Structure 1
């Protein structure tokens, strides 16, 4: 797959008027628009995030200036034209069935599938490239530009807020799309068709930001300091050496430094992920080189509170025009996605019949509904039926003998809502033991999902992804006695508890520990009575999954 045909098929998502405009010859460099960030003290980190966001501590940051936008292709182009600098080559940028890494490592800063205009963030730049650009701009302009420190970045993104995101506390908030280009319902709807790389429903924010991938800088609402795209669009490289906690980290706003550092900090998430939050950290190796990553600059003012800098006039004028064109395109072309259907009720009428009913959506332009059924044992989802907007129930008289999973999708012409929460048909068909039971073969598991694991062997990739949800399995022991159970579980690291119960009584198991990955837990002792009983497993972290149970007589 060559990059240029792909670019122009994706270019329908942005204004063609903004692609590669004529470059001004009036300046040899572009002064970026800068926002003045006042000095202040804030609480850095979070007690509700990941372990590397601890311990929280008070940090005092001197006044400085930060780039209003992420550095664009146009700005970086001036650097290359002025210096003949050899920017890093061999960027992973193509999208395919496994998302990134399809094809050769052939991308460069000006030849990758994300160069949709001069006013998109520059990507396929290494950390060294970003630092060298900042040094050149400093020399050319007489000002001191550099990468932000991690403390400066978090202080700037929070802009005085203490919430999880600078726009609130709600996880997967629909407000996120007003402020950021992130993984959303628009990308969920189109990425599979455009790139053969679909999103999982639980990997997006349920809102529409009108973009499928990278976007022109500055299209969305700024944060409280007037900074754009601090959430989403591209990952931003920072100055700090990464360490897995804030223990001993500076409290004066300066960077964490370490001799021969190989791993650095990045922040802000990207268009490819749901909203990250103000304290969320990323680690990035010095030589990591791919296409989700860009950067923004700060101007070191030696602690002085200087007035904001408007930026090079011709650049700002062209950027404003590009933003206007992109927003107009959003209004003109992008569809209205109906609200997700949530009030669904399911009842099993007989072994072969299941009734599904839901409440009509009154004010969201719904023209009809689609009813989906997933077979968890094959991880195949089919459309059972398409109905008019007046039909709000359906009887499936070919229900699966084992558990089936149903969801409802609202339609507005060709636009679709996210599927409703999944409802199990709750088969009472037991699993005879001793036997091996697949993790996805649960009888009932509200909140769990069935997905394919890219890490497990071929022929055994379907798993039950539980998170903190429960999955229950009805077992039927032919013979009472002592059994040994082996379980294949996904462990998110470094330590993780889970609960295993038989008929509501806990079973003693070992704690998961060590590096992130799949673990096989052996020799779990269980006593089964003859007849039916219920085995239940529940995780305690957001990333927890089960591939199979193997139950054998001792």
Structure 2
């Protein structure tokens, strides 16, 4: 990018007439000026060497003083804009972000299922509507409201920190529930009833007491005093999305390209785990979803002005609404931590003994044990409400099974413990087709359904950057032709196939994201019993099957 491709925020003169036009004859505000937080001028390191490639290279950026919206723009504020301008809003918003039976039901900003109150963030709007709102409010007030630039946004979020999150490193991500509405225990328990048939993620080991979108300002602010920068809604920014920071501006200005097909979004949402401070997202102009909202920046011409308190009636009503929700949060049951230290062993009588550490919370009322059959991807509770920290599966599956344990507070379940395998080994005699889920040993993998594969072949082994091993029997040394059905993330990568300590092959994956069949890999194997291991390179890597054929 050259200097011609960036713009610096412009400053409008503050009008002394703004107060006189703010109120209608009836006394109701025609527009709502938001409470703002003064962000001091400063310099920071933007990006991360630990993140994705689009977060690199790290560069030093200087940001002038400005003001950032204390909260995300709410339905109440946006409603004033619509009533005053009759702005035509789209009604093709994909509102059921978790899928389920109603995933094709579309909506608009005022008809979506997350329109819980006037004090929730407005969603189901395109970035251009957020820009139009800022322009309208600027005209009403004589001030320069606009969308924040990406540099301003990250600078505000970090608030002088250099850690992965402003509240700590990745291992402290469960602290996010103090500061943000993210995917966590409460969402896991509640979303299944709100989105029947949808897949609900297991994410953070904490509870923020909200299942989906929350009212603004319910949690702790960041060190600058800004709320909900992590979670709740992804926030539209002023920048066009570019997939790296090469030649990006260092003065805090926005990146503007000739063909701005995608704009930057930041902060993650209630639907995901907490995004690190450097994580970026993009949104195309032709897609409309319910996870995106925005907050405003106020251009002060680089001056450190006193923080704007905002419309007093709006702030008063918002504070009352927040207090009611917080009181309701206190009535929710406490969630135990996930049990730790789960181990399995096979007893002398071929039973499976499971042991784990007792939870320390006094409100824990027991434990439940679940068993997954990887070959059918079915999970069942084989013990409910037991009081001890051990259990014997007296009727284990004859092939490998996976177990996990949850702690209970009466009807409330903790998140899952780590998975452990039963230890019953599945062996495969070559030549044969080995299903990905028929592994002999694996760690930190997930057996689940693919939504893209044929109905009769949906069970997959999601390996990611981990590995999965298969014991094979070979009657005599020979060369096999191997076909592998694998999932490719869309970013160029390779996966590895190992025989013990020997790397047999490392085929490359490229092209569009999706399932691919890698064909006719030549694999020479000796006679005997061996471990064949498949290892991934990226988070989104999975194996459906491996087909060993004689040549």
TM-score by length of 2: 0.92
- In structure 1, the gaps of 5 or more residues are 1-23
Q: Does 1:439 align with 2:436?
A: yes
What are the residue-to-residue correspondences of 1:87-236 with 2, within 5 Å? 87-94=89-96, 98-99=99-100, 102-105=103-106, 107-171=107-171, 173-199=173-199, 203-236=202-235
1:78 deviates by 1.1
Runs of at least 4 residues of structure 1 off by over 4 A? 197-201
Paired position in structure 2 for 1:353? 351
> How far did residue 427 of structure 1 move?
2.0
Q: Name the CA shift for 1:216/1:55 in 2 (closer, same or farther; >3 Å).
A: same
Partner of 1:27: 29
Partners of 1:451 and 1:25 in 2: CA distance: 58
CA contact (8 A) 2:449 2:459 kept: yes
1:11 alignment counterpart: none
Q: Secondary structure at the match of 2:417?
A: coil
- Quick check: 2:426–2:438 contact (8 Å CA) kept in 1? no
Give the corresponding residue for 2:17.
none
What are the equivalent positions in structure 2 for 1:393-432 lying under 5 Å apart? 393-432=390-429
- Is it true that 1:372 corresponds to 2:374 in the alignment? no
Take 1:364 and 1:199, find their aligned partners in 2: how far apart are those partners? 31
**Correspondence for 1:452 among 449, 469, 472:** 449
Contact 1:352 1:400 in 2 (8 A): no
Q: In the alignment, which residue of structure 2 is the partner of 1:237? A: 236
CA distance in 2, matches of 1:530, 1:259: 61
Q: 1:311 to 1:197 in 2, by over 3 A?
A: farther
- 2:248 pairs with 1:249: yes
Secondary structure of the residue aligned to 1:441 is coil
CA-based RMSD: 1.7
- In structure 2, distance between residues paired with 1:47 and 1:101: 40
Gaps of 5+ in 2: 1-25
Q: Secondary structure at the match of 2:516?
A: strand
CA contact (8 A) 2:109 2:123 kept: yes
Secondary structure (helix, strand or coil) at the match of 2:273 reads coil
Report Cα offsets for 1:371-409 as digits up to 9, x if no partner. Answer: 1000001110000111432x2222212111111001111
CA distance in 1, matches of 2:284, 2:260: 9
Q: Show the counterpart of 2:49.
A: 47
State the SS of the aligned residue for 1:110.
coil
1:82 Cα deviation from its structure 2 partner = 1.9
Displacement after TM superposition at 1:68 (Å): 0.3
Mapped partners of 2:365, 2:229: distance in 1:
37
Q: Is the 8 A contact 1:188 1:198 kept in 2?
A: no
Separation in 2, partners of 1:197, 1:204:
19
Q: Which of these residues, 335, 338, 343, is aligned with residue 336 of structure 2? A: 338
Change (3 A) 1:70 1:256: same
Residue 262 (1) aligns with residue 261 (2): yes
Q: Tell me the distance in 2 between the aligned counterparts of 1:258 and 1:67.
A: 26
Partners of 1:149 and 1:197 lie apart in 2 by 38
The CA deviation string for residues 75-125 of structure 1, in whole angstroms up to 9 with x for no partner, is 0111122222222222211356x35961332x1111111110000001111
Matches within 5 A, 1:457-472: 457-472=454-469
* 8 Å CA contact 1:93, 1:100 repeated in 2: no
Range 478-487 or range 459-468, more displaced? 478-487
Q: Say if 1:92 and 1:104, in contact at 8 Å, map to a contact too.
A: yes
- Aligned residues, how many? 526
Distance 2:113 2:448 in 1: 28
Q: Find the aligned partners of 2:426 and 2:109 in 1 and give their Cα distance.
A: 57
Indicate the residue corresponding to 2:16 in structure 1: none
Shift of 1:492: 2.1
- Structure 1 counterpart of 2:15: none
TM-aligned CA distance change 1:197 to 1:303, over 3 Å = farther
Which of 388, 392, 413 pairs up with 2:389? 392
Partner of 1:539: 536
- In structure 1, C-alpha distance between the alignment counterparts of 2:369 and 2:527, rounded to whole Å: 39
Q: Which moved more, 1:24-33 or 1:253-262?
A: 24-33
